[in-house]
């Protein structure tokens, strides 16, 4: 998709979500999908299973499943940073001005 078409698509999509009153929920879901994917990649790189990571975090596998669930946006910064640290990573949060 060329950049102009993509920008128009993004603008129309954002406008529609705002009109429906669900923009912020959609944005949170998108961010959680990125977070869950990044954590999964780090687990794969280290050859860790969910059970092994849960044991490292001293939590249940069910709790870890909620952290890794792309649809579950209820994650605290403490939980996120602890999980990343258990994977040998740090969390970098950035606030940016939209295009």
80 belongs to a structural domain: yes
Is residue 96 a part of any domain in this protein?
no
Burial of residue 76 (CB within 10 Å: 0-12, 13-18, 19+) is exposed
Domain count, the chain: 1
For the stretch 60-69, pLDDT in tens is: 999 999 999 9
* 15 in any annotated domain: yes
| pLDDT for residue 98 | 78
The reply to whether 48 falls in a domain is yes
What pLDDT, on the 0 to 100 scale, is given for residue 20?
Answer: 64
pTM of the model: 0.75
DSSP for 63-76, please give it.
Answer: HHHHHH-TT-----
Residue 93 lies in a domain: no
**Domain range for residue 16?**
3-86
56 located within any domain: yes
What tens-digit pLDDT sequence spans the chain (99 residues)? 676 665 555 666 666 555 666 678 888 999 999 999 999 999 999 999 999 999 999 999 999 999 999 889 999 999 999 999 999 999 998 998 977
Domain annotation covers residue 97: no
How confident is the model at residue 99, as a pLDDT?
74
Q: Is residue 33 part of a domain?
A: yes
| CATH, residue 32 | 1.10.260
């Amino acid at each position: 998709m060329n950049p102009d078409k993509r920008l128009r698509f993004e603008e129309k999509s954002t406008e529609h979500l705002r009109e429906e009153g669900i923009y912020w929920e959609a944005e949170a879901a998108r961010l959680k999908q990125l977070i869950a994917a990044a954590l999964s990649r780090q687990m794969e790189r280290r050859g860790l299973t969910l059970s092994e990571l849960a044991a490292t975090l001293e939590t249940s596998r069910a709790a870890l499943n909620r952290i890794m669930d792309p649809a579950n946006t209820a994650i605290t910064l403490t939980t996120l940073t602890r999980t990343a640290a258990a994977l040998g990573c740090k969390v970098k949060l950035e606030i940016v001005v939209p295009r």
